[in-house]
Amino acid sequence: MAPPDRPKITLVDDDRDAREMFTQALEAAGFEVTAAANGLRLISSLHVDRPDLILLDVLMSWIDGFELCRSIKKNEEYRDIPVIFVSARSAPAAIREGLAAGAVDYFVKPVDLDRLEARIREVLRKA
């Protein structure tokens, strides 16, 4: 299934400034972006507005990104949605844990937005 003209990305990050920065950059790149402040908001939005890809922070309230990614990947209805982590946690162990949780990639903040955009497009082409 080919992605739509404006692929939908849901960004989950508890930092409002980060959400705004990523939203502006991704919308300027031609993506439709919805943002959620935490995993609970993501879970409730998946039922209403299924994204083509999820950008996920690791350190958040309620549930951390690794746990959230694992629960998405366990859910038959949503497991095929690609997840890319975008996090300040840069330790190799964190990156390994993110990929082991089911993410297709892991970017460390501050993020090279051009590289992130290119990777999102690559992932969506393969989806």
Say how far apart CA 79 and CA 98 lie, in whole Å: 15
Tell me the whole-structure pTM to 2 decimals: 0.94
Give every strand in the sheet of 8-12, ordered side by side: 32-36, 8-12, 53-56, 83-87, 105-108
- State the pLDDT at residue 44: 87
1 part of a folded domain: no
Average of per-residue pLDDT across 26-42? 94
**Count of structural domains, the chain:** 1
State how far the alpha carbon of 29 is from the alpha carbons of 5, 17, 24, in Å.
12, 18, 9
126 part of a folded domain: no
Asked if the model's pLDDT at residue 2 lies above 60, the reply is no
List the domain range (segments joined by +) for residue 70.
8-113
54 part of a folded domain: yes
CATH number, domain containing residue 87 = 3.40.50.2300
67 part of a folded domain: yes
106 part of a folded domain: yes
